[in-house]
Chain A
Amino acid sequence: MGRGIGERLAQKIQSLTFLMVGQNRNPLQFFPYLTIAAFLAPIILGLVGTWLPAFGYLPIIGADDFTLQSYRELLAHPSLPGALRSTLISGLSATLISLFLSLWITAHLYGTAFWSFIQRTLAPLLAIPHAAFALGLTFLIAPSGWLIRLFSPGLTGFVFPPDWATTRDPLAISLTITMIFKEVPFLLLMTIGALNQLDIKRTVWVGRSLGFQKFKVWMRLVIPQLYPMLRLPVLAVLAYSLSVVDLALIIGPSLPPPLAVLIDRWFNDPDLSMRLIGAAGATLLFIVITFFIGVFIVVEHVVAMLTRPRLLNGLRHSWWGQMKSTATLAAVTVITTTGLSLFLLSLWSVAKNWRFPDALPRHLSLFYWTKSLPLIVEPFLTAAAVGLSSAVIAIILVLGCLENELHLSRSKIDSISQKSILIIYLPLLIPQIGFLFGIQTIVTNLHIEGSWFSLIWVHLVFVLPYIFLTLATTYRNYDQRYVQVATILSGSSLHSFFRVKVVMLTKPILFSLAVGFAVSIAQYLPTLYVGAGRFATITTETVSLASGSDRRVIAVYALCQFLLPFLVYSLAIWLPALLFRNRQLMKN
């Protein structure tokens, strides 16, 4: 045993030596450190920069005594109970329902023709930014929305919009529904990636040959293997749903709003002392999310333990297995609602007069496009530039980290960097509002607020995890023997990397770039907090217009917000298809 520890210690030292000062210096070794530094620095500094004011220390506004006064004021604030209630209702329900629906849809429909259709629709569904979708959904389900117009006045008798709270309801149900519609496609995408690592076809075959109904095979054999691979995306959905701001501003309750929105208000209050309460609120939200992530993990283990005997009870059929139509209905609802939201945005953007209860506009016009476009150009281009820069930098860092990981595993080195690279996922699990204020304070002190550098950097923090998440599995599964053959033939490992590996992986690399770009486009708070008012992106403009502008102007902005990721997703899909149109084996 002692020898084992000694060997492991020697291996660690060898690993560190190799990484830091080894003679065979590996140029890739810097990528994990660079990547982690790019993350840890802003997150740790951001958290500290938020926690210090939470305890009363913010010298810039003259607060330099450590005190618990902010927490006392926070806990006594009349909006806090309501804000916490709507946060928990929307965040927890959206996560649980999204997870349930994505697994339900997969278990029932995987391998069917409709599943292939769902796979094809995922990219456009994901391309629609949350804010644009929420606005489209508002046009659909609001009291003056299209659904009520469709049946009015004929069936409802309404000649004016009814006084119903179908959006911005106090229990945050509309916010929950909006998040479900957006998170189900995300979890389905993650599920597809995870399923590629399992031998589903033959697992289902073995299960069914043992006499089990297909649904039972999924519940007992596939999902227990699948879920551990989905854990991180699910926790990311949980953290996001509990701390979302832009969606909540558009479709969430306002009196009081969810906690993240309330904190954002405090941070931007003209009364500077409110920043201390905001920081205390941000710390509370951080604790709430950490607590529920812990609860989720504990519950997951308890459920696994309690259901284990059922796995072996030998029952081959279940009534639930005959409910395929409900899965089809759920998938159709997600797809058609998203499609309808997009259609309504398009319709509103060209509507001249569209009074209630008309189901369609009386006159169409491009007036609001021509009026808005000159104002949109700058935020549109800013968003594109930041999105492209952060996505490209992130791709380079991720490729470097993954290549380094490969290099270390070939060298049989138990890589510390390989494990610590998991830190990349931190920004997905920590609420943005929990550390953005700290980052804002720090970039202000460093005099880099409102610069391209700080803006791209802060976007990179959120873009990189998603790129890692979408690319890592495919990249790790790549058959490295192709590179070996190419290196032997060409005599250059760099040549074989770029001319063989990167080219063969064009499709997943471009797709993850598109995902990263879409994530950057959707960033609202990071742009506001670090942009220092000098940068407006299409997203910040769309969200700020959402609260009270003309529906037609909002529709034009929301469509432009959708246009950017849609273009990049389309390129990511069509470019490899075009480049490799005569290469049968490159199609998968």
Chain B
Amino acid sequence: MASGSVVQEQAVNEKLTDETMSLILDSLQINLGGSELFSPVSLTVEAGQILTVMGPSGCGKSTLLASICGNLDPGFSLSGTIQLGDRILNNIPMEQRRIGILFQDDLLFPHLDVFGNMAFGLPSILTMEQKRERINSALAMAGLSGFERRDIGTLSGGQKARVSLLRSLLAEPEAILLDEPFSKLDKQLRQNIREFVFQQITKLAIPALLVTHDADDAPEGNILELKNGNYHA
């Protein structure tokens, strides 16, 4: 039992290679109580690319993200294949998929300060000094230098959004899912944070899926529209 844990721990620590990978959905379908949420989805999101998923409420956008992340509620079933690089993710537990997620709420951990939140997902092989360096440089890049020891309750909405994104990215995910992350921000802030998020994803060269109701949030590129059980890429 313990050796299995060690292997998993090593897998987490071995990340941070230069290889880039794609997220591939092949005939992916989600079923609830015998009915399909949408027709089979087949697509490829290349490294550094952001695919926007749009559609009316209840069409299955967030459920699609949950299925990719490995967090489908009981009652839902999944067919088709989810592949990240050369790994088939279907039967891999959520914590081993290496897929980050960002919600519209920042979900920063209230018992930890900014440093604690960002250090939380860093690989365990790093020394505290290495962790500090990474966090400081990430904060500097986000214009948040000196915020390490700030209580998250004292941050503004935009600052929280940036810390939340940095926390996800510092854990070195191989793909990232964005579940309406800008919907609670005001117009000006929304634009700034959007640009910041897209820059980081391009820089890290990881595939990303963005769920949104707002066409303004969609970056240039592919849009997947889930509507009436069908999808249009």
Contacts and interface: CB of A to CB of B under 8 A. Distances in A.
B8 A311 contact: no
B173 interface: yes
A225 B121 contact: no
Given A199-B105, A214-B95, A221-B109, A209 B123 contact: no
A317 B95 CA distance: 10
A217 to B, nearest CB: 8
A531 B70 CA distance: 61
Interface string A207-228: 1111111100000110011000
A244 B171 CA distance: 50
A213 B95 CA distance: 6
Contacts of A225: 109-111
A220 B171 CA distance: 16
Given A199-B107, A225-B109, A225-B110, A312 B9 contact: no
Contact of A316 (B116, B124, B126): B124
B147 interface: no
B129 to A, nearest CB: 13
B124 A315 contact: yes
B107 A317 contact: no
Interface stretch (B46-54, B96-104, B187-195, B201-209): B96-104
Contacts of B131: 312, 314
Interface in B47-101: 69-71, 74, 93-101
A314 B124 contact: yes
Contacts of A221: 109, 111, 120
Contacts of B105: 199, 202
B91 to A, nearest CB: 15
A318 interface: yes
Given A314-B124, A317-B8, A211 B96 contact: yes
Contacts of A205: 69, 71, 94, 101
A220 B99 contact: no
Contacts of B112: 311-312
Contacts of A159: none
B interface residue count range (under 10 / 10 to 19 / 20 to 34 / 35 or more)? 35 or more
B71 A208 contact: yes
B154 interface: no
Nearest to B93: A208
B60 to A, nearest CB: 17
B5 A211 contact: no
A497 B126 CA distance: 57
Contact of B5 (A202, A210, A224, A318): A318
Nearest to B170: A210
Given A208-B94, A214-B95, A225-B111, A314 B1 contact: no
Contacts of B116: 311-312
B29 interface: no
A202 B103 contact: yes
A416 interface: no
Interface in A104-139: 113
Interface string B114-129: 0010011111111000
A205 B101 CA distance: 8
19 contacts: A205-B94, A208-B71, A209-B100, A210-B95, A211-B98, A213-B95, A221-B109, A225-B110, A312-B116, A313-B124, A314-B119, A314-B122, A314-B125, A314-B131, A316-B8, A316-B95, A317-B6, A317-B8, A322-B1
Interface of B: 1-2, 5-6, 8-9, 12, 69-71, 74, 93-101, 103, 105, 107, 109-112, 116, 119-126, 131, 167-168, 171, 173
